[in-house]
Each structure stands twice: as C-alpha cells, then as structure tokens.
Amino acid sequence: MKDISKSVVRKDHEEKITGSCKYVADYDSKGVLIGKLVRSKKAHGKLIGINFPKMPNGYMSVTYEDVPGINEVHIVKDDTPVFAKDSVEYIGEPVAMIIGPDEKIVNELVKETELIIDELEPVLDILKSDTVFFDYEYTKGDHVKAFKEADKVYEETFSTGYQEQAYLETQGMMAEPEEDGKILVHGSMQCVYYVHNAVKKVLGSDDFHIRQDPTGGGFGGKEAWPSIVASEVAVAAYKAKKPVRLVFDRREDLEFTSKRHPSITHYRVAVKNGRVTAMDIDVKFNAGAYTTLSAVVLQRGLICADGVYNIPNLIVKGKALKTNTVPNGAYRGFGAPQTFFPVETIMSHIAQDMGKEPLEFKREHLVKQGDMTSTSGMYHFPVPLEDMIEEVAKASGFYEKRKKYSEKQSGRYRRGIGISMHFHGAGFTGAGERDLIKAVAKLKKHKDGTVEVLAANGEIGQGLRTTFPKIVAHELGIPLDRVYYNWPDTGKVPDSGPTVASRSLMVVGELMRRLAIKLKEIWKDGEEQIVEERFREPSFVIPFNLDIFQGDAYPTYAWGVQAVEIELDTLTGLMKNLGTWASFDVGTPADYNIVMGQMEGGLLQGLGYSSMEKMDYDKNGRIRNNNFSDYLIPTSMDVPNMNVQLHVEEYPDGPYGAKGAGELPLVGVPAAYVEAVSQALGGVRINHIPFTQEDAMKEIAKKDE
C-alpha cells in the first residue's frame, strides 16, 4: 500500500460522532422566519390565481412576483421556475412560500392557502409523452451492414425504476441578510457554485454569497435541487429583510425532490459467428416536469450503453421525455446504472441462448487498452477486468457455485449466483472539465504555518475534508493537523467545480498535489502565501464533440466486477443475500478506509436498487411511497457479507494514481443481482428492476402451473 493510502482519523470524525456538528436545521431559530412551501396538489394545470388567507402580523407570502431578478432556476437549462407562475407541472411543485416566526402558524397558513388551478390532463407515461426534452443519437462503424449480415438478431426491452437518494439529512437552506447588505445563503448542498449561479440570476445581483453547511449525505440528490431551494429562501429573505430557513420534512423530501430517472431501454443485438457485431440501443428516461440535469444524466447513460465490450458497430439513441411528475436528477451513477443493467443482462441472455456460460461469452468481448470506446475515443490505459474477474471468482467460489446451481434444484430454498462487469467514466462527461468547469483551486499558507485549502468541493460524507488536506500535508511533509479545509464559501474560495461525477479527488485532488509542490518551492516561514492552480486537460485526450458524440468522453475509467449469491425462498419469494463480492479499481486509494466505506456503501445502495427500493406514482401522478415504511431501503440487518477488494491500476494524471471512486460501486450491481435471482428461478429471464419478492412469486407461480 502506498503511504497516501494509509488511513487517518477523518477530520469530521469527532464532530459527527459527538453530535456537535451543526447542520442547517441546528442554527438558533431566534429571529429566524420559518418557511414552508405551498405546493401544487395537481399534476398539471393552468395556474389562475392564489387565495392567501389573511396574514397575521409578521407573516407573509412569497411568490414569483417577489423575485427581484428572473423567476428561473439556472441549472443546465433554466426552465424550472422558482415559484410557478402560469402553470403547474407536477404534484408538489412550489407555487408560493409562507414565512413567519411560528412554524405551526405557518403550517396553518399554508393549509388555508387556496390554489386556483384549471386542471389539464397530465402526461404520466413516457411512452405517451410527446415532449422530448433531449434527443441524442450517435453511431460507430457501420451498424446497418452489421445487422444485415447478422446470423441472428436478439431483441429485448428492459426497465428500471425510481431510486431515492435517502440521505440522512433532508434538503435544507437558510438565507440571512448581512450587515453589509449582502445575503448569505447557507445549507445542505454539493455544489456551492451551482447554487451561486442560480441565486445570482434570481436575485439579479452579486450582493450575496453561498456557503455549504455540514451536509448529511447527497448521493447526487444535492447536486441540482439545492439551487431551487436556495433560490426560494434567497427571494424570501430579500423580501422579508430577515433570515429565512426552509427545511423539508421527510415526506416532502421523498415525494417532491429529484430521484434516479426511471428508464425503458430497447436493445437489438446482432450476432455473427458467435460474436456480437452490432448493437442498436434505444434509451428513454423519464425526466419529470423540468429538464434540471436530465441532459447530462442521459449523455452518461448513452455513452456506456454498450457496456465493457468492444462492439464495432453501434447506433445509440436516447431521449429524456417530459412527464408531469417530479423532475428527476442525479443519483450516484448518473444514468449509467440504467444502461449497464440491460447491456449486461442481454449479453447473458444471448450467451444462454447460444448454450454458453454468460461470463465466458462476455470475456470474449471485453475491451482492452487501445480499443476504441463507444464514442470512437480510446481506452488509453490498461483494462484490468480479466484480473478482477479472477479475483472476484476466486473469492466467491463463482465457477463451482455457478455450475452447481445450474443443475436442477429442488426443495424450498434455491440458490443462484451472478456476476457483472462495468466501468465508470471518471470525471465530468465530455469536454466539460475543459470547457465548462475550468477548475481553479488555491492554497493559502497563513503566517503561523498552517495551510488552508481554498476549493469549492463539498464534504458530503465522502471524505474530502480529510483527503484534500491529506494530499497537501503529504506533499509538503507537514503534519495533517496543520492543513485544513473549511466549509466552502463562494465569497472566499475559487470555483474548483461541482462535487459530482466522481471528479473531486481525481481532478481537484490533483490540483491539490500540484499546489502543494508549488507552495513548497516558494515556502517562506512567517509569511502569508497564496498559490493557485488551474485544470489542464491531459495531452492524450481525444477532444470530445458533444454534437456527434465523438472523442474521449472521459480521460480514464474506474472498473468494477461484482458477484452476488442469493437464496430464494420458493414459498415466499424472499431473496436472501448469501454474499456479495467485488473488485473495484479506483486507482490509488487516497485513504483506504474512506474508499472502502464508499465501496461498501455504494454496493449496498446497488443491492437496494435491484431488490427492494420500489417507488411509483399513481394514476394522478402522486408518489405514494413517501415514508420509510413504504419506501424500503436496506437496514444494517440487510447488509450481506461483503467482500471488497481494491485492484489498483494507477492513473498518471490523478494524484498518486487515483481516479474516480464515488459512483462506481453502485453502478454494476443490478445485473449481478438479477443474474443470481434468475439462476435460482431456474433460468427465468428477468428484464426489470427492482425485482421484488412479489415478482419472484409471480415467476414461481408460473412454474407451478
């Protein structure tokens, strides 16, 4: 193990363990107005008017009319209003906010507020949606010819469900007018500058700054949504000239904030001489009512739609479609789980049809270093999948179990084991790092010799407050307690980019390393010194063109292999996880314990996504699973025996060889899970997730007949 990988006590350990850590809801309420949103109860309609009850002294309403700047939340596109003006597009859409000192009274006033809505027919089914937010298509090779010459063409449709981030801390934000006339907006978020740019447009001024508070989990759910919440409180505080706080309760958070996009994907696969020669892939994501992050989520999903395989001919089409439901957004994996599941699964199904073991068939198609990517870029670095498959197979006893369970099973309990492979493109998709983000970071050495990290990336539990200083301390050769990273404040730190896309450690962590080297060179005791570094695109990168999806979508890839073994109870459909094994290559771990925490946590979210996390809306567009007894996530008792190994393939442009880690462990799980269940069910084809106990029972009952 490299020195940098040795685990240290996390910088946020003490305050989180002792409970002294102050989240946005913990700030003293004295003089703070409580905000509550008036939300649409209709999925679609013309907003005719709002009848507010008489406001007691000290209470007021806030609507689009109070927005000093523009009533649009800047995300990727700016179609999300801060407060609905002419129409409502989903159940829960914020139409107004009521603020005042007493929460109970505010709640009463919200209840008494009447929205006059001319109801319109909502669109709830993506297959019936005629509003296409984003529509992409790209090709590779000559797919037309490949399909024409195929021996056989396989076709299958897959679907995936919602997944809710279920962070511990719900969305919360506070805006406070300061003495100098500026407004400070602080709260739970991943990306201070995303919020900054949103609030700037809404306030129409620069008289504000944004600060991240300790954030109780994000998983992508606090990438875009905080821009909306921050805009709401900023407008309210601007109007009231008083501090305003808005904290969602759990029901609101589950029902009315973004989740993983449900998807329907259709795969056509051409096979010739026992090899896959082409894929024709059609991807549909349910975007919800506004575009928010759907464009980028869809791009990532499309780019990895051919999996870890070298498929010479491709046509990949994708649409993000509007429905009158809550806008969907980022969740760990960001579009990739929705395509890795089908591509892995159809590859297994094709193998089975050809009488081959899926893993063997898949291995014949694995990409290698130097191969072309789906977007005609290149896998520039070694692809360690073969070794990783062996690691996982050995640890799990995969070959023996797979063979044993393929024989006819009898009795109440039946077993199955499955394995899947995937990658996660490290960093922002396409030319984003170079053209959009252009990360800048700084180190400030104080006179007393302590060093402060100045960057915009947020600690959301993944360990950045520890790993950034760790890199700096390591390079400077000073103790870790001499380097610190405060909660980023846009009034003080440069824009080193958002905390997304598994990019922070790889991209900004590398800036930290270079900054420390720079600082060391000029270090003078007793002086305040500042150094600055900017992102430079590695020279090997083949520039990406988003219009045609050509080039390197990512400079490098993190790799994953996972196996899941389950035991199915044929009387109840319950599936017990007997073990989950994985090998993950995230390059050099910047801290072994932190990385292992990420790997195991991500795996568990992947298992939940595959099996029990089921959320849906009814015929009116209302999400019913709005509490944790109706939306089940795994408990500690559901954590299987996990065996995770780290396979290190160093990335020369990441700090000490590190590459993206955060999202990787979730992405590949569903295919392995489903393959295991399928084997336990005697080879039944499964093409949707979550695959619940009820789904299993349906299959068992079919066999009974």
Partner 1 sequence: MVGSFIPKNKKEALDLKAKYTELIPYSGGTDLMVENRKNPSYLFLGKLNELKGIKKTDGKIEIGAETTFTEALESPIIPQMMKDALILIAAPAIRNTGTFAGNIGNGSAKADSALIEYGLDAVITVESVRGERNIPIEDFYLGRKHIDLNEDEIITKITIPDIHPDFYSYEKVGGRKALAISRIAFLGILEMESDKIKSISVSFGAVSEKIIRYKDVEKMLIGLTKEEAKAKKDEFVKAYEDRMQLTEGRVSADYRKKVTIKLLKEFLKNGGI
CB of 672 to partner 1, least distance (A): 19
Nearer to partner 1 (CB atom), residue 8 or residue 574: 574
Give the N- to C-terminal CA distance of the chain in Å, as an integer.
Answer: 56
CB of 694 to partner 1, least distance (A): 5
Distance CA 465, CA 483 (A): 10
Residue 244 Cα to chain centre, angstroms: 29
The amino acid present at 53, given as its one-letter code, is P
Distance CA 564, CA 121 (A): 43
CB of 250 to partner 1, least distance (A): 12
Nearer to partner 1 (CB atom), residue 398 or residue 673: 673
Distance CA 430, CA 424 (A): 13
Nearer to partner 1 (CB atom), residue 638 or residue 650: 638
Query: CB neighbours of 617 closer than 8 A, spacing ≥ 6?
Result: 124, 325, 623, 624
CB of 703 to partner 1, least distance (A): 12
CB of 633 to partner 1, least distance (A): 8
CB of 412 to partner 1, least distance (A): 7
Nearer to partner 1 (CB atom), residue 51 or residue 635: 635
Nearer to partner 1 (CB atom), residue 299 or residue 570: 570
Q: What is the dihedral of CA 395, 400, 403, 406, to 10 degrees?
A: -70
Residue among 120, 153, 62, 2 nearest 657 (CA): 2
- Helix 225-240 to helix 192-203 angle, to the nearest 10 degrees? 40
* Binding region for partner 1 (CB under 8 A): 412, 570-574, 612, 628-630, 632, 634-638, 693-694, 697-698, 701
Beta bridge partners of 582: 562, 644
Nearer to partner 1 (CB atom), residue 128 or residue 619: 619
Residue pair 186/210 in contact by the 8 Å Cβ criterion: yes
Measured over the CA atoms of residue 553, residue 554, residue 557 and residue 560, the dihedral's sign is negative
Nearer to partner 1 (CB atom), residue 321 or residue 669: 669
Nearer to partner 1 (CB atom), residue 438 or residue 698: 698
CB of 692 to partner 1, least distance (A): 8
DSSP string, 169-232: SPPEEEEEE-TTS-EEEEES-SBHHHHHHHHHHHHTSS-EEEEEPP-S--TTTTTSHHHHHHHH
CB of 684 to partner 1, least distance (A): 16
Nearer to partner 1 (CB atom), residue 597 or residue 634: 634
CB of 410 to partner 1, least distance (A): 13
Distance CA 52, CA 498 (A): 38
Q: How far is CA 47 from CA 98, 322, 553, 565, 690, in A?
A: 18, 19, 42, 52, 36
